[in-house]
Chains A and B, each alone.
Chain A
Amino acid sequence: MQIHMQEAASLAQASGVSSLAWLVIALPLAGAAILLLGGRRTNAWGHYLAVLMAVGSFVVGVLLLTDMLGKPVADRGVIIPLWDWIAVAGFHVPVALQLDQLSISFVLLITGVGSLIHIYSLGYMEHDPDRRRFFAYLNFFFAAMLTLVLADNYLLLYVGWEGVGLASYLLIGFWQYKPSAATAAKKAFIANRVGDVGLSLAVMLMFAVIGSVTFEGVAKAAPAVSEHWLTLIGLALLLAACGKSAQFPLQSWLLDAMEGPTPVSALIHAATMVTAGVYLIARSHAIFDLAPNARLAVVIIGGITLMMGAVIGTAKDDIKKALAGSTMSQIGYMVLGAGLGPVGYVFALFHLITHGFFKAGMFLGAGSVMHGMHDNVNMRRYGALRTSMVVTYATFGLGYLAILGIPPFAGFWSKDEIIKAAFGQNTFVGLVTLIGAAVTAFYMTRLMAMTFFGTARWEDGVHPHESPATMTVPMVILAFGSVFGGMALVFVGNIQSWLEPVVGFQETTTAPSSAVLMPTTILLVLVGAWIGFRKYAMQAVPVEAPANVSWATVAARKDLYGDAFNETVLMRPGQWLTRTLVYLDRRVVDGAVNGTAGLVGVLASALRRIQNGFARSYALTMLIGAAILVAVAMLVRMS
């Protein structure tokens, strides 16, 4: 297979507007610092400052984009050196930002969707006593995520990677007085740690084998490195991506992460942070291009997660968990697309962006529904909300059409291309994506129908009402993205030629023609949607979840035994291992350490006696010391 790679020309240093890129990170970081250090003094205005910083960051992002659009394609990627971080012999890590078509796309997605979610949170968190802390964390997340996507090397990316992990942990556990939230935060943190080990392994391998950790340096040196090492690095990167992007087998934390406030679920656990794994793979395309086995592993993981997420989504009654299953599944699509190599990178990223819009919009919609339903998340107690929450219904509905892939909504353009590229790779992989699309249609219709259609199954005393404008306006704007995002990125700004200089692109040649594939896909999607609609909108939905269901439903309700898997495969052996290690540590390591400490203590009290306070003894010590030195000098001379 011939690989279409971009010229390995060196990136120029930034000048003019692009050298301001650091502001994108600095603004929200300053916001977080002011809010966290300022304490209660900032309670009154802190949230407005946070919103201002987020929007300011977005404005700088737009300026950077317009500046980039004004340049010829070859000059669009630039490096903005900030300072030297580590410079010791043979190991040089600058703190520098890389601004190119890929990073600017992420910057705009993060700051754009993020700003909307900041504004939405003004309404959503209005009565929360810890509102300031919430906005501080959101701003901190901003800074970390933007560091992640703007870094020009893997080590700085790692800083951002850990930063978003921390922000995610803090925000999932934001309502820490709820034991479930505290546990969920811990679970997310631990699962992410496992992935982080992968990233640190990858960075260390790069340094050892390639000798560079900058994206540019790695891309230049990769062709000279043997494929075994590249495969190993690729698998380590995949492990990292699995942790952050909730891919099999590290997927289970994402469902629990819905314990956090809904804006967090929308921003971090749907639109941005969880897609960092896809970004990592696309950014490392120089390695994956040369390691087909690692790419195959990526495709397999993506395919498994795609199906798992979809199946879990069919059985969840909790609206946020159903959406979380869907997120897993959609990221599975992206990972699978990225694993296809140059035929897929562009479409994986395309889907990432459109998904960012419609999924964030739907999460905000879910938050709006919860807002009107006294924070009840059980869809079995919803129903017939389309009349009482018109804006939410309309915006959610447009997001629904987008995720289904109905033309001309956003998801159609991106998902269709991934399915096509998957068929180009392998018929089996193609079928997985095709069936996934049908299942997606089924569970999304189920969600839609249980919430907005059918009969009202509300609990007593619940009077659904539309949310305030701070919440509905962001939803409306995101809905615009759901409708026009795909078309805009195909017809107005051609995403394919936009991203090609960075990640490379190759037209798939082996796939069946679109004329066959597209109608098939749409037909299957409509079938899935019809089944869902008939079952959940036209028939009555029981208020209690039915108990006697098939084994498949039971499995799906239990997250396909993700937790059981973790317990048997990871937790139990882990506990056994730690117990053994603790035992060994006490007996062997502590023995050595305590022995040394004891020895030091004995020596210390002995030597301390020489320090007796008498000047004559001190002088004698000096004399003896001098005599010994002379003796040593003479010995050296003679030998």
Chain B
Amino acid sequence: MMLAALSSFATPNFDYVKLAPVLIVFAGAIVSVLVEAFVARTQRRSVQIVVTFLTIAIAFGAVLNNYTAKREGIEAMGAFALDGTATMLQGIILVVGVLGALLFAERRVDPAGDAFAPRASALPGSSDEQQFTEAGWLQTEVWPLFLFALGGMLLFPAATDLLTMFVALEVLSLPLYLMAGMARRRRLLSQEAALKYFILGAFSSAFFLYGAALVYGYAGSTNFGGIATALSKMTNNEGMFLLGALFVAIGLLFKVGVAPFHQWSPDVYQGAPTPLTGFMAAATKIAAFGALMRVMYVAFGGARWDWQPIVWVLAIVSMAVGTIVGVAQSDIKRMLAFSSVAHAGFLLLAVAAASKDGLSGSLFYLATYGVTTVGAFAVVSLVRDATGEASHLGAWAGLGRKSPFMAGVFALFLLAFAGIPLTSGFIGKFAVFSAAAASGATPLVIIAVIASAVAGFFYVRVIVLMFFTEATEATASVVVPSGYTRVVVGVTAALTLVLGILPQPLLDLAANASTFLR
């Protein structure tokens, strides 16, 4: 009996080349754990940095290889889909990952070391903590955590089965929860943020799992292709399906940070170490949005008429909450958090469009938004006063007089967020809005344009504050960073500008990539 059952068990088919980017990053993460265990502490940091960048470089090579060979297909018994969208998103995530890793490696900005607590286990304010700080210890465990999170992000938008998707979701989330609590300065705030993030993340995971169970109950499959087939054939029990689909979507919308599932984001953005905030704000949004689009288009595409109005409502609420509450923020990191909520709303326009143009527009939008976001947080990490980062807006007044270059770069990022022409943000918004308008969502586009105008207020307010206010003693100063952060600021600023003037190559890439396999 046992033998018979075993012999009928089919070995899953793996095309390791297609899975390579994900596998390489996970392998790198395991190597990184081993480094943590076996390499002497004095050399650990440098070895970890080498391992991380090498891993990302090889993984990017694997993505390029998949791209040039135009490899496509559903692998691992229908759990993993490699198609144009997955390849492009993996490439974008790896680029953002490199930028994030560069920020992680920076240690000249804070006189005491890098952005992470020397020992996360030491109580905040305790004598242990002080000892570790004085001894100049550096946290190197962030590197394996970073790589595991990155691997999860690569898997997330390629998962084409609800269970794989859930695993990817958790793999990317858990390291982020941990790292969010590891800030060197203001540790209580950081730990509070991490705990909130964890609890609310668990809550949203519960939504996702319950939704997956309901969808399985309806379709008899957790596979996207199977769900889509069931949706096209069955006519009964649609209430159960709809509830399940909605809950699955809520789990993902939490990660994207769409209102009303966004409330973790300002607290976490503010509390987490800034390099992590930059990486997370960019890469999580890209990965989660990719996953959301895959679920909505591939698995639930047949029920489009049911979920489109909900997406409309969510887009409007998100744009409204992000822009309106953003106006009242006095902390730069919280302001950027609400800005990201508003951007999530703009991105939902592409989902509402449910068209190929919408998909390619959102790919472009995600790439440019991710790059600009990392750059903006890189600048935020440099603006400091005696107590650490000066994230209160009051400290930014007159910054343009003191450090015109950095203030100018930050102004560029803000203009990109606001969607001003000649920046990449304008082209992204234009692509998404026009796709939505073409699919008949004109009222939504009008609301989005109004929201952009209101959002423009709080971006421009910061520019006015920086450049048209006299510098006082309270004005923070810009720290001169090492090459790591300089590269990030330079590359992100250049990309923001170049993609605003010469967007065509990336737009073409996105247009060619916008396919989903089923």
Contacts and interface: CB of A to CB of B under 8 A. Distances in A.
Contacts of A617: 263
A618 B454 CA distance: 25
Given A633-B246, A636-B306, A636-B310, A622 B254 contact: yes
A547 interface: no
Contacts of A596: 454
A622 B260 contact: yes
Interface string A14-58: 000000000000000000000000000000000000000000000
Interface residues of B, number: 43
Contacts of A615: 195-196, 199-200
A610 B306 CA distance: 30
B324 A600 contact: yes
A611 B266 CA distance: 9
A597 interface: yes
B504 A608 contact: no
Contacts of B238: 637
Interface string B314-325: 100000010111
B252 to A, nearest CB: 13
B261 interface: yes
A621 B324 contact: no
Given A87-B504, A597-B457, A633-B246, A619 B200 contact: yes
A618 B434 contact: no
Interface string A598-638: 00110111011011010101110110111001101110110
B199 A619 contact: yes
A87 B504 CA distance: 8
Contact of A629 (B239, B246, B266, B504): B246
Given A600-B454, A611-B266, A633-B246, A619 B203 contact: yes
A128 interface: no
Interface in B275-330: 306-307, 309-310, 313-314, 321, 323-328
A551 interface: no
Contact of B264 (A597, A601, A618, A636): A618
A629 B310 contact: yes
A89 interface: yes
A607 B325 contact: yes
A528 B289 CA distance: 81
Nearest to B325: A607
Given A629-B314, A632-B313, A604 B307 contact: no
B309 A632 contact: yes
Contacts, number: 91
B203 A622 contact: yes
Nearest to B438: A89
B163 interface: no
Contact of A622 (B261, B310, B434): B261
Interface in B233-265: 238-239, 242-243, 246-247, 250, 254, 259-261, 263-264
Contacts of B259: 625
B407 to A, nearest CB: 18
B193 to A, nearest CB: 10
Given A601-B328, A608-B325, A637-B242, A626 B207 contact: yes
A606 B242 CA distance: 33
Contacts of B457: 597, 600
Contacts of A84: 504
A88 interface: yes
A610 B262 CA distance: 12
A618 B200 contact: yes
Contacts of A576: none
Nearest to B198: A615
Contacts of A633: 242-243, 246, 306-307, 310
A177 interface: no
A596 B453 CA distance: 11
A27 to B, nearest CB: 20
A607 B324 contact: yes
A491 interface: no
A476 to B, nearest CB: 44
A11 to B, nearest CB: 22
Interface string B323-345: 11111100000000000000000
Given A603-B324, A613-B267, A621-B263, A629 B306 contact: no
A621 B260 contact: yes
A603 B326 CA distance: 11
A630 B246 contact: yes
B434 A88 contact: yes
A248 to B, nearest CB: 36
From A83, A622, A632, A637, name the one whose CB has the most chain B CB atoms within 10 angstroms.
Answer: A622
B321 A622 contact: no
Nearest to B430: A88
B343 to A, nearest CB: 18
A626 B246 CA distance: 8
A592 to B, nearest CB: 13
Interface in A543-563: none
B204 interface: yes
B502 interface: yes
Interface string A436-475: 0000000000000000000000000000000000000000
A29 B309 CA distance: 52
Query: What 10 A-B pairs are tightest by C-beta distance, nearest first?
Result: A625-B260, A604-B328, A618-B263, A84-B504, A615-B196, A604-B327, A636-B309, A607-B325, A603-B324, A604-B324
Given A601-B327, A622-B203, 16 more contacts: A84-B504, A87-B507, A600-B327, A600-B457, A608-B328, A611-B325, A615-B200, A619-B199, A621-B260, A622-B204, A625-B261, A626-B250, A633-B243, A633-B310, A637-B238, A637-B306
Interface of A: 83-84, 87-89, 596-597, 600-601, 603-605, 607-608, 610-611, 613, 615, 617-619, 621-622, 624-626, 629-630, 632-634, 636-637
22 contacts: A89-B438, A600-B327, A604-B327, A607-B324, A607-B325, A608-B325, A610-B263, A611-B263, A618-B196, A619-B200, A619-B203, A622-B261, A625-B259, A625-B260, A626-B207, A626-B247, A626-B250, A629-B310, A629-B313, A632-B310, A633-B246, A637-B238
